[in-house]
Every structure is written in C-alpha cells, then in structure tokens.
Structure 1
Amino acid sequence: MLNRLWLWFGRWLAKLVLLLVVIGLSAWGIGTVYYSWKFSGPVASEEQIPPGEAALTQGIIEDAIRVVEQHRDNTRVLRDAHAKAHGCIKAQVTVLKNLDGSLRYGVFSERGKTWQAWVRLSNGNAYPQFDRARDARGMALKLLAVPGEKLLSSPAHTTEQDFVMFNHPAFFVRDVAEYKSNFAAQAEGKKALAFFPGWNPQSWEIRHLIIALKTLAPAPQSPVETTYNSIAPFKLGPHNIKFRVIPAPENCPDYALPTPNRDLPNFLRNALYQQLSLDRVPACFALQIQRQNPAHYMPIEDPSVEWDESIAAFETVATIQLPAQDFDSSEQNLFCDNLAFNPWHSLPEHRPIGGINRLRKAVYEAVSVYRQERNRQSATK
C-alpha cells in the first residue's frame, strides 16, 4: 500500500515538475520573441522630448534635496549619489596620435594633445558605507584648461570638460517619468517598491530591477581595475555616441596589487594609496567611444538598453594615466569633496543627449548649488 502511494506521489511530482518546465520554457520563448520585437530598429537619431518632462524634473530635484539632507553627516551635506570618494587623483589624458579624422572633435580634435585632469573615484551610494557592500562604482573625469564656449555659463567651470561614468553598461530606468517614480520611492525609504509602483503587473519593471541588482556588484580589488561607462548617449561632433573607460595595464609598468583586506571599511582607498603613493606605480586606462547605428536598436531616449558591441564596436580615442602621487591628505580630501562634476560642463561638440542627461543638467546643478551653499553656512557657524 505504502509503495503504491509513493509511486503515485512520484508520478504526480514528475508531472508537476514537467509542467513547470514547460511553462518556464514557454514563458522564456514568449519573452524572447517579445523583446526581440520590442528591441528592434530602426530608432531615432535625434532627441524626442516628451511633454511634462520639466515638471517631473522639478519634483526630482525636491526629492534629491531630501536625500542629501537625510544622509548629511554632523557638519557637511553630502552628494545625493556617489557620496563616498576613494580619492581625487591628478591625471593626464592623451589623444591618440593616429586618431581617425572622423572622430577629431572637441577635446579630441588635436592628435597627441595631452590634457591635465582630475579623476574622482567613488562608491555609488548616497551615504558612505563599507567598501565590501555591493554597490555601483563611479569615475568622474574633469579635463582642465579646455578653451571654448561651454554649454553651462557658470564662471567656475568655463575651462572644464567633464565625463561622468559608472561601472555598468545600462541604467536601471528608461526615462524621466520612471526615474521620478523610482527615486521618490527610494527617497521615502521604500526601495522594495521602487520597481513595483502599483498592483498592476503591467507597471512592474522586472527587467530594470535585474539591471539594478547587477549594478550593485561586489567591489573590485581596486578602483583602477574595473570598467566605467557613460550609460547615457552624447554627441561627438555629428555622431551620437556612448563612451567608456577601460583598464589598460599594458600601457603602464607591470604591477600586482597585494591582496586587499576586504574587512577594512575603506579598502578601495587603501588599494589606490598602496599603488600610487606607496609603491609609486601609475595606473592606466583607455577612453573609448561607441557610435550609434540608428538602423539597429540603439535608442537615445532609453539608457536601460545596452548598445550592441557586435554591431557598433568601441573605438579608443585617448589614453588616461594616473601618475604616482600623494593624494590622501585632509586638504585634498576637502578639495575633492567640493569638486562639482556635471556632464553639462562641456563643449557643444560633447553635448549630452537623451532624457536622463536632460535631467542631469537640472538636478546636478541644483543639488551642487544647494550642497555647497549649505556647507558654506556650516563652515561659518
């Protein structure tokens, strides 16, 4: 009797598992067909600004200021994102001597030109936490003494060209409307609801949740051992592009970083200090661009879509070197905290495009002004 019962249960369980496999494979097949259809070209090669974007942007600015106030320390107002820096490093950015003529625009117009620059390396969170926590990692690059009219008229940034990146090739929201919903939920401490704005499953953003989880990656061995991406698109003269910075150790002396102690709260800063300040070994990167092919699904207005490298390969336009240096002083850390990076600190040849970049223009400027004003008030008390 017991044997027959177990046999019946085994057959029932096998049928259930088979049914679940069939349902899973069917869902995967339907999803593949749907996304192949949805993510197919051609796409627009010009910006398409939706109605109501300005009002949504103002709401996001208010939420961003709430976040910086929530995470301020006892004396200083921190950034609304990438609050914890591993260091601000002096750098040289050198345009390739043999750069293709079709890419010679803006700061890349003169072959062999070397720009002096600052590089800020950071964690992505709005408040400082241990480096071993899963997080995005950021690189902000500021070229100095760049002549020419800039897109923003701020007197403090008239000679700067900024490039802002983080270490994942896609963003976890598609547009300003979704960013408003997502960021408002996070500002209210409802992170679990950021990708589930309502009971209707059609409003759920499962794909974007997966991108967000992939973005929150384990820390690298060192901030100079990972790739940093622009995420959103930009102009390069007549081209629509994305850009990235990749490690290029072949351009520097051989170096093996000692195994870091990941239990230390600031081991990424320690790794940077070990290489540049103690061992006096430079770190090297390559700056690359990827041109949009609008015949394929490479949208301007949706940075959650990674542009296909098999269709549009990345091309190196410049090299970056972080020379050996001493950077971890209280004076330089304060200088680093006060540096403002904005992709709109830019020549027209590198103009940011797309909804997320239009949002950045308003939010970065408003939060930077608010943060620096509040910090000046605190310093005078």
Structure 2
Amino acid sequence: MKLDLARKRPSLLGRLWLRLGALLGKLVLILLCVGLIGWGLASAWFAWQHRGPVAVEEQIPADETARTQDIIQTAVRIVDQHREGTRYLRDAHAKAHGCVKAEVQVLAELDPQLRQGVFATPGQTWQALVRLSNGNAYPQFDSIRDARGMAIKLLDVPGRQLLPSESGRREQDFVMFNHPNFFVSDVAEYQQNIGAQADGKKVGAFFPTWNPRSWQIRHLLIALATLSPAPASPTQTTYFSVSPYKFGNANAKFRVLPDPDSCPSYKLPTQNQDLPNFLRSALLQQLSTDRVAACFVLQIQRQDPSRFMPIEDTSIQWKESDSAFETVARMKIPAQDFDTPAQNLACDNQSFNPWFGLEAHRPIGGINRLRKAVYEAVSDYRHRRNAEP
C-alpha cells in the first residue's frame, strides 16, 4: 500500500516541471496583458495625434527641393540596376500586362458639385488608354506578391495643361495602385526608403537605425499589405490614387473599382498561375479570346477638413466613414487585340504622369510634388537611353 502511494506522488523533477510550467504560464499571461495595454495606449496615442481638423492647403518643407534632387539620382540608379539587357525600364511598375483602349463616360445625372474638370459635362465620353501593371521595379513572375497598378490617360482633352513643357499633350492622367494608402508619409521618408532599397537593404527601409523611435512599424505593415497575392485578373481588383488632387475648389482622392453589372456576365476560365505572365494571359483571355468587355466605375472621395484627412501624409487612409466615395464616371474596356510586338513597345514607351492634365485636377501634397520632378527626370533618362522619342 505504501509502495502504491509513493508511486502516485510526483517526483522532485516532476514537481519542478509543474512549477516551471505554472511560472511560464503566468509570465505569458503577464506579457499578454502588458502587450494589450501597450496596444491600447499606442492606439489611443495614434488616435490623439491623428485627429482633425487638417489643412486644405499644401505645406512645403524648406528642404524638400534638395531631398527631391537626391531621390532623382537614386531613381536613375535603380533604372540602371534593373535594365533588361540594353533596354532601360521604369523605376517602378516596370512590367505591363498590357495597354488597352477604353471609354470613360461621365455620369449623365451627375451632381452639379461634382461637375469639375474632365467631369464637367454630364454624359460626355472620353477615349482613353489604360496601362495595367505590376508595381516592382524589375519584371518578375506575376505569382510573386506585389502591388498592381492602373494608369488611365484620357485623350484629346482641351484646356491648358499643368506643365508648360507638355502643352501639346491634351491629356488627363490618373495614376493608381491597388491599396488605399502608401507606405511612406512624405518626401523625407521616401528619400530614406528608396535609398535603402537601392542599396539592397530592404529591412533598412523601415529600420534605418538601432533607435526604436526611428522604426517605422506601421509603414512596414502597410508595405506588407500592399504586397498582396495576385488577383485572378487585372480587371478584378480595385485601384486607388493614394495621393490627393484638386477637384475644382475641393481636394479629393480617386478610386476605380470593377463594375461587372454594367458589362455582359463573364466568368474567367481558371488560369495557370505558375506561368510568369498569367495576368497578361487573363487579360488576353477576356478581351481578345472571349471578346468580353470589362467595366469599372471611377469615383472620388472629397476631403472633409474637419476630419483627419491630411493632404501631406499619404500613409493615412481617408476613412469612408468620414467621407464616402461618389461615382463620377463609368469606364469600359471593350473587347480588343492588344498583344502585338508593336503595341507592347508603344506601351513601354508611353509615359503616364499625374501632372499630365488640367488645373482642375492638380496633384497636391509632398508625394505628388515629388512625382512631378522624378517622373519627368526618369522618363527623359529612360527615353534617351532607349533612343526613343
């Protein structure tokens, strides 16, 4: 009997493990509580720091011009690093799935307050060119997580262009990608980020020093969310301008999202996503093989200055609860053939720039001011190197 009781009593080692387990359990619980408290305090601090009202006019830092010139040199270095043979590619969105013709029609029953710029005449139809792309600076397999881009160029747009050097263009461009906010706030952060990436230090882009106060955890999370799995097709995702623009006397951001109800019903056949260019194949399948159009709506989100909707920080997503998106036009990409060597070369040589357009849609904010200089410099450099007009 005494022997049986002894066997049931835990050994010294067993009791030690039980106590250690209990201690570890308490430690994990304490860390969890501390983490939740820290998260709550950080959320409260973020909400306190990021509240309205906000400015409606641009606020330009004194050192922005110098930072911009440094960024241009870095962007040119990236173009040199990522050239394909002897051909020089874009410093971002280098790989196109195709450039396709489209029609953008302003809503016939458009609210008078929304009748601005190219949307001034209800029912008007613009002919357009749309470039669909991956975001990376070097062409890679479509299955790799990446941002996806849509650039829209309205053609034969009358009126004075924003850039005097481009007065003959008669265009209005909208440049977007498939995430509502950007992983940098302003030009200073962009300078540090692109410099680290050009040096091959991807981690350093968000952790520039050992000082935790310099770490950009929130922006890293935005970047990871931006690098999303590929959609089934470029026609099946939503695209955002991310940065703000003038919209008449207001400030606004743009969004384009699929509108399948305005086109014939279509189910895309399953694509082989192991192929490097399956997004181009999906676009070809729908537009060229099955001859089915793709439809979208173009919307704006107007700034409410009483809410936290800043124009100088592109890392902040404007909440729909603060200002809802409003449809101003519908876009239709008709069935067409677009994948020939000549068309693909013309697509590669085409320049899209949010500064190609009218005063009514002037790009605003630091990232857009940066784009004005960088897009022009990189485009000129690329075309000179490629011996293209």
Q: The TM-score by the shorter chain falls in which range?
A: over 0.9
Quote the residue 2:294 is aligned against: 283
Q: What TM-score comes out, normalization by structure 2 length?
A: 0.96
Q: 1:293 aligns with which of 301, 304, 315?
A: 304
**In structure 2, the residue corresponding to 1:285 is in which secondary structure?**
strand
Q: For residue 226 of structure 2, what is the aligned residue in structure 1? A: 215
Q: 2:98 aligns with which of 82, 87, 94?
A: 87
Q: How much does 1:3 deviate?
A: 2.9
In the alignment, which residue of structure 1 is the partner of 2:338?
327
Aligned residue in 2 for 1:342:
353
Mapped pair 1:272 → 2:297: no
Contact map agreement 1:157 1:345 (CA 8 A) in 2: no
SS at 2:329's partner residue? strand
Distance 2:40 2:61 in 1: 32
Measure the CA separation in 2 of the matches of 1:310 and 1:83: 35
Taking the aligned partners of 1:75 and 1:118, their CA distance within structure 2 comes to 27
Q: Identify unmatched segments of 5+ residues in structure 1.
A: none
Distance in 2 separating the partners of 1:73 and 1:17: 51
SS at match of 1:65: helix
**Structure 2 partner of 1:153:** 164
Matches of 2:21 and 2:364 in 1, distance apart?
59
Residue aligned with 1:352, SS: coil
1:109-135 Cα shifts (integer Å, max 9, x gaps): 000000000000000000000000000
Cα distance in 1 between the residues matched to 2:77 and 2:243:
25
CA contact (8 A) 1:124 1:137 kept: yes
- Cα deviation for residue 265 of structure 1 reads 0.3
**% identical aligned pairs:** 65
With normalisation by structure 1, the TM-score equals 0.98
Superposition deviation, residue 156 in structure 1 = 7.3
Q: Answer with 195-204 or 231-240: which moved more.
A: 195-204
Counterparts of 1:120-269 in structure 2, within 5 Å, are 120-155=131-166, 158-269=169-280
Match of 2:56 among 45, 53, 67: 45
Which structure has the larger Rg over C-alpha atoms? Answer: 2
- Structure 1 pair 212/157, CA: closer, same or farther in 2 (3 Å)? farther
Q: How far did residue 73 of structure 1 move?
A: 1.0
- Structure 2 stretches of 5 or more lacking a match? 1-11
Query: For 1:324 and 1:156, how far apart are their aligned partners in 2?
Result: 32
| Alignment match of 2:79 (pick from 64, 68, 71) | 68
What secondary structure, in the 3-state scheme, does the structure 1 residue paired with 2:213 have? Answer: helix
Q: CA deviation at 1:311?
A: 1.3
Q: Contact (CA 8 Å) 1:149, 1:158: kept in 2 or not?
A: no
Are 1:308 and 2:324 counterparts? no
Which residue of structure 1 aligns with residue 5 of structure 2?
none
What does residue 70 of structure 2 align with? 59
Which residue identity does 1:228 align to in structure 2?
Y
- Structure 2 residue corresponding to 1:78, chosen from 89, 102, 108: 89
Q: 1:307 to 1:155 in 2, by over 3 A?
A: closer
C-alpha contact (below 8 Å) 1:120/1:140 kept by paired residues: yes
Offset, 1:154: 3.1
C-alpha distance in 1 between matches for 2:165 and 2:294: 32
Match status 1:111 vs 2:90: no
Letter matched to residue 250 of structure 1: D
Inter-partner Cα distance in structure 1 for 2:384 and 2:32 = 58
Partner of 2:43: 32
User: C-alpha distance in 1, partners of 2:159/2:202?
Assistant: 42
Shift of 1:157: 5.2
Q: What is the CA–CA distance in structure 2 between the aligned matches of 1:14 and 1:369, rounded to whole Å?
A: 62
Q: Is the CA contact 2:166–2:356 (under 8 Å) kept in the aligned structure 1? A: no
- Secondary structure of 1:376 counterpart: coil
Q: Using the TM superposition, name which of 197-206 and 83-92 deviates more.
A: 197-206
Comparing 1-10 with 267-276, greater Cα deviation is found at 1-10
**1:14 Cα deviation after fit:** 1.3
Query: Number of residue pairs matched?
Result: 378
Q: Matched residues in 2 for 1:209 and 1:7: separation?
A: 40
Residues 221-276 of structure 1 show CA distances to partners (whole Å, capped at 9, x for unaligned) of 00000000000000010010001100000100000000111000000000000000
